[in-house]
Amino acid sequence: MSYLDAISRWLKATGLSWAMLHYTWVWPTCQILHLIGMAFLVGIVGFLDLRILGIGKGIPISMVHQLLPWGIAGFVLNMTTGILFYIGDPFQYLHARVFHFKMLFILVAGLNVLYFYLSGLLAKVEALGPVEDAPLSAKVIAVVSLTIWVGVIYLGRMLPFLGDSF
C-alpha cells in the first residue's frame, strides 16, 4: 500500500467525506462553485493571455492585469472545491490517469506563471503602450497558458468518461 493509498483511506473515513457523499446538496454545490471558479480563473487569465497575444490592443495590459486578483480567487475556489471532491471520494481519483494528467497540467500552468513573473516579463509587458506588441517570449507563455488551461478543463470534464475510475 502506498503513502497516497493510506492518506486516501484516512480521508475516506472522515466525516467530511461522508458529508460530501450523503448530503445530496453538497456535491452539486461544490460543482457549481468549481464552475464559477473556473470561469473567473480562465476568464481573467485567458483575457490577459489574449491581450498579450495582441487581441484588444486598445486595452492597456496593465489594466487587464489589475483583474488578476479575481482570477486568483477563482483558482483558490477551484483548489478548495477540488480538495473537497477528492476527500469525498478519493479512490475515484487516486488511480485515474486522467486526474493525474489534470494535476500535471495545473503544475505546468503554475510553473508557466512563475516564469512569467520571476523572469521580469510582466514588467516588460506592463510597460507597453496600448498598441504595442508584447515580446515573443511573453506570447509563448500566453499560448502555453491558454493551451494548458483548455487542457485542464478538458481533462476535468473527461474524468467520468476516460478510464475506469468513475
- Please tell me the distance from the alpha carbon of residue 28 to that of residue 34, in angstroms, as a whole number: 10
pLDDT in tens, 71-106: 999 999 999 999 999 999 999 999 899 999 999 999
Q: How many other β-carbons are positioned within 10 Å of the β-carbon of residue 93?
A: 20
**Global pTM value:** 0.91
Rounded CA separation 80/91 (Å): 18
What is the Cα–Cα distance from 58 to 27, expressed in whole angstroms?
Answer: 42
Using DSSP's 3-state secondary structure scheme, residue 96 falls into coil
The per-residue pLDDT for 163 is: 78
Q: Say how far apart CA 147 and CA 108 lie, in whole Å.
A: 11
* Cβ contact 105:157 at 8 Å: no
